[in-house]
């Protein structure tokens, strides 16, 4: 079993070194890491083949095998990802505020790294390089616990990253993959408050729930998205159809996809037939309430459970409401704090929706699919936070930092 | 046993109402609450007398009885505290950032309340009013779990606050005290993720540890302060003595008091005799390492355990170092992320200390006692955060908020 206490101790010692690295040094290390990944591609692919073989021998489904699989192209993408992170502005050291108190103390609020970040993730081996890149650029040490399915791939990627760090005279302990597939190690990691400052689970709802329920280390909850589009009484129908199709079908199985349509009762007759036809052309199964139900193939009655379900599939629930207030109430009851949209030409309704809907990202006349670090211009993201604490929505480099106050005096004492 | 699920449900429904209140309405409610507390003082004192009687019959120590005790003056102070919070700027609704993406989406980052805040606290009944005031002004609903020692006092204060809210047509469920002293309720509260967004424990190290270890709701850790003052080789000795005396003795038993002195070996002979004399005049017991030990009354050899101890008493540990680097290493090893100070005339050393010491508040030539919401000019505070996530150091109204992104488009879809 891995000596997690020792890994934590090393990470904690390393975080102080990383916090002091200048931007050029960090960028050079990221470029070197990109190069090493490309140079080591053959080794990484060979180790990945072991994981794939083990997966096949356990009859892993094709979809999971695809997520696990690395190719020359996917390794190049990982390398390119690190180069892109190098190109982003360094958040560390930014002075967020400075003020002078009546007693002469000068107080500055300075952006600093979070410290040691733990990432618990599932079978995609690219997370090993991606998470390292973002955490490292923001000055953090990172401890990675990947899925057991990908252990050989992850270790090979870690080895390549270590080679790069060594070349740049940076401690290899800037990134440490836990070399164990033992579940007890994950349990121990979730209680390592003495050295881990924050845990970010990346994966399905089950993984995230497990981490939230078992971790005593602070957690950033990410990725669950029961996202709604509300079509208001005076919406532009063509725009509404374009946006709903995009939010539902442009990519299924992602957290910012639309899972539920909320519609004003006054437009059921005029709008739904056209919408349902467009959805059915994309094979979307429609789970509608009584008022929104149409006798067509692929339209079934909705149950209460539908409204609480993140399908991650070609399915859409439909709820009819008699007012904007009812729409907002429904959304605030069932949503997961991710992304919600209204389609309307009524400016007062748009404002009310933006004010009252409680979610990380609230849209007027646009697709929920834009909730994404790249689309927001953050350059990259470690995930989408769905909690209220620390960061909400797409988390880029800034969201991987904290702050400290530095205070300069000339002998002040408190009276 | 209290129906905590129902309390949570009520709080969650109320948070949406509170989030939409304008500043005047909130301020009027705070002024009304202040008035009600003063009008109800006789009732509150009568209920407080029951708690005091119960405490005495259980032989509660005098110090705890004093913390539990309310007087006309203490009730006026609570009321005055609410009026001061009313006078502070409303953080809710502030636009933190706005940017336009190449596709025309206009993204704004807007400050919003955190939602539902749970406070778990010990015997001081004034927290009931203070915590309500801050949480409410920042637009949050609050669920309070006070100590069983203060249950009658807390219920009386809650009743008064409810009277004020009702007068202002604001749901009384803006503040809900759990009407139970059952420990099982605290356990249930710490796992009420469905309706509580953040838990803030206020009390001793034991309470905070209990909450961190048992809560699945996100926690803001507050209040543990193993704070150091480092006296550098070329410090101003008179200033150093003034600051150390202030940080150690101006108020003992508070989290921003100095617990440990770190001193450069080159000034042991010239500085320590004078310092120790000043400390002994204030009855401070000195736990010194070999190099810093002096054969005087009240100076004892330090053990390893001393460096990790937050005494909260008239005791001070002393550690000798041979360099600034060693001082920083010692502090980063033993501190609790609260407040650390260097006394120096060397600007390069001051900068290095500010850069490398990892704590919420890092001082040059000033007392650690200034880590405080009032001293920082925040007007009030709910506590001092010692964790990296969300907020660090004194937490005022802004730190009781989160943000959301509002995004306006004209039909954008993702390609």
Which residues, 6 or more positions from A105, have their beta carbon under 8 angstroms from its beta carbon? A407, A408, A409, A412, B366, B370
Tokens of B371: 């880590």
B389-414 tens-digit pLDDT: 999 999 999 999 999 999 999 999 99
> Does residue B283 register a pLDDT over 90?
yes
Interatomic CA distance for residues A341 and A230, integer angstroms: 6
| Confidence at residue A328, expressed as pLDDT on a 0 to 100 scale | 97
| Confidence at residue B379, expressed as pLDDT on a 0 to 100 scale | 87
Residue B15 backbone dihedrals phi, psi, to 5 degrees: -60, -35
Q: Which residue matches tokens 């108020």?
A: B251
All residues of chain A having their beta carbon less than 8 Å from the beta carbon of residue B246 are 413-414
Whole-number mean pLDDT of chain A? Answer: 96
Interatomic CA distance for residues A286 and A318, integer angstroms: 7
B8-53 tens-digit pLDDT: 999 999 999 999 999 999 999 999 999 999 999 999 999 999 999 9
CB-based contact B360 A405, cutoff 8 Å: yes
Burial bucket for residue A93 (CB in 10 Å: 0-12, 13-18, 19+): middle
- Contact (Cβ atoms closer than 8 angstroms) between residue B236 and residue B257: no
Of B216, B246, B405, the CB nearest to A212: B216
B135 Cα to chain A: minimum distance (Å): 15
CB-based contact A413 B350, cutoff 8 Å: no
B331-388 tens-digit pLDDT: 999 999 999 999 999 999 999 999 999 999 999 999 999 999 999 999 889 999 999 9
At B158, is the pLDDT very low, low, confident or very high (cuts 50, 70, 90)? very high
Interatomic CA distance for residues A284 and A298, integer angstroms: 7
A278-288 tens-digit pLDDT: 999 999 999 99
* 3-class secondary structure, B335: coil
CB-based contact A409 B107, cutoff 8 Å: no
| Confidence at residue A290, expressed as pLDDT on a 0 to 100 scale | 97
> Does residue B63 register a pLDDT over 90?
no
Tokens of A282: 């994309």
| Confidence at residue B1, expressed as pLDDT on a 0 to 100 scale | 58
| Confidence at residue A76, expressed as pLDDT on a 0 to 100 scale | 97
Tokens of B108: 């704004």
Mean pLDDT, residues B127-153? 96
Mean pLDDT, residues B233-237? 97
All residues of chain B having their beta carbon less than 8 Å from the beta carbon of residue A99 are 377
Burial bucket for residue B281 (CB in 10 Å: 0-12, 13-18, 19+): exposed
B354-384 in b/e burial notation, b at 16+ Cβ within 10 A? Answer: bbbbbbbbbbbbbbbbbbbbebbebbbbbbb
CB-based contact B388 A197, cutoff 8 Å: yes
Cα B261 from chain centre: 23
Residue A332 backbone dihedrals phi, psi, to 5 degrees: -65, -25
Q: What interface predicted TM-score (ipTM) does this complex get?
A: 0.94
| Confidence at residue A1, expressed as pLDDT on a 0 to 100 scale | 58
Whole-number mean pLDDT of chain B? Answer: 96
Interatomic CA distance for residues B342 and B328, integer angstroms: 10
Q: Which of B415, B103, B108, B101 is nearest to A247 (CA)?
A: B415
B253 Cα to chain A: minimum distance (Å): 15
DSSP output for B351-410: HHHHHH--SSEEEEEE-GGG-STTTTT-S--SEEE-SSSS--EEE-SGGGEEEEEEEEEE
Tokens of B334: 């033993």
Q: Which domains does chain B have, with CATH numbers?
A: 4-221+391-408 (3.40.605.10), 227-370 (3.40.309.10)
A341-370 tens-digit pLDDT: 999 999 999 999 999 999 999 999 999 999
At A253, is the pLDDT very low, low, confident or very high (cuts 50, 70, 90)? confident
> Does residue A277 register a pLDDT over 70?
yes
B83 Cα to chain A: minimum distance (Å): 22
All residues of chain B having their beta carbon less than 8 Å from the beta carbon of residue A115 are 358, 388
A92 Cα to chain B: minimum distance (Å): 11
Of A19, A367, A410, the CB nearest to B413: A367
Interatomic CA distance for residues B368 and B229, integer angstroms: 8
Nearest CA in chain A to B237: A411
| Confidence at residue A204, expressed as pLDDT on a 0 to 100 scale | 84
> Does residue B288 register a pLDDT over 90?
yes
Between the alpha carbon of residue A58 and those of residues A52, A62, A149, A153, the distances in Å are 10, 12, 10, 17
A291-334 tens-digit pLDDT: 999 999 999 999 999 999 999 999 999 999 999 999 999 999 99
Residue B56 backbone dihedrals phi, psi, to 5 degrees: -65, -40
């Amino acid at each position: 079993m891995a000596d997690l206490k020792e890994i934590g101790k090393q990470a904690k010692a390393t975080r102080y070194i990383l916090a002091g690295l200048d931007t050029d040094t960090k960028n050079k290390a990221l470029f070197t890491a990109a190069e090493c990944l490309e140079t080591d591609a053959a080794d990484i692919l060979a180790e990945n083949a072991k994981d794939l073989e083990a997966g096949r021998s356990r009859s892993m489904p094709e979809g999971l095998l695809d997520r696990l699989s690395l190719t020359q192209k996917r390794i190049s993408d990982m390398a390119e990802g690190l180069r892109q992170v190098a190109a982003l502005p360094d958040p560390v050291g930014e002075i967020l505020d400075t003020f002078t108190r009546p007693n002469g103390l000068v107080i500055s609020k300075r952006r600093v790294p979070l410290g040691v970040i733990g990432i618990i993730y599932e079978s995609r081996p690219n997370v090993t390089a991606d998470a390292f890149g973002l955490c490292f650029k923001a000055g953090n040490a990172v401890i990675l616990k990947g899925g057991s399915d990908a252990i050989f791939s992850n270790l090979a990627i870690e080895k390549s990253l270590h080679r790069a760090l060594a070349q740049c005279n940076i401690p290899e302990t800037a990134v440490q993959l836990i070399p164990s597939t033992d579940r007890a190690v994950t349990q121990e990691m979730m209680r390592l408050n003495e050295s881990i400052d924050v845990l970010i689970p990346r994966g399905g709802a089950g993984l995230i729930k497990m981490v939230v329920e078992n971790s005593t280390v602070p957690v950033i909850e990410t990725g669950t998205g029961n996202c709604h589009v509300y079509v208001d009484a005076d919406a532009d129908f063509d725009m509404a159809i374009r946006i709903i199709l995009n939010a539902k079908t442009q990519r299924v199985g992602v957290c910012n996809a639309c899972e539920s349509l909320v519609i004003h009762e006054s437009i059921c007759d005029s709008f739904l037939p056209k919408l349902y036809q467009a959805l059915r052309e994309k094979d979307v199964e429609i789970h509608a309430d009584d008022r929104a139900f149409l006798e067509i193939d692929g339209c079934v009655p909705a149950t209460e459970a539908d409204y609480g379900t993140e399908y991650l599939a070609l399915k859409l629930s439909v709820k009819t409401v008699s007012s904007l207030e009812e729409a907002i109430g429904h959304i605030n009851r069932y949503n997961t704090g991710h992304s919600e949209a209204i389609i309307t030409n009524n400016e007062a309704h748009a404002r009310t929706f933006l004010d009252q809907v409680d979610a990380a990202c609230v849209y007027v006349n646009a697709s929920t699919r834009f909730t994404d670090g790249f689309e927001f211009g953050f350059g990259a993201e470690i995930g989408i936070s769905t909690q209220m604490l620390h960061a909400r929505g797409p988390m880029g480099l800034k969201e991987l930092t904290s702050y400290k106050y530095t205070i300069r005096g000339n002998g002040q004492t408190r009276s």
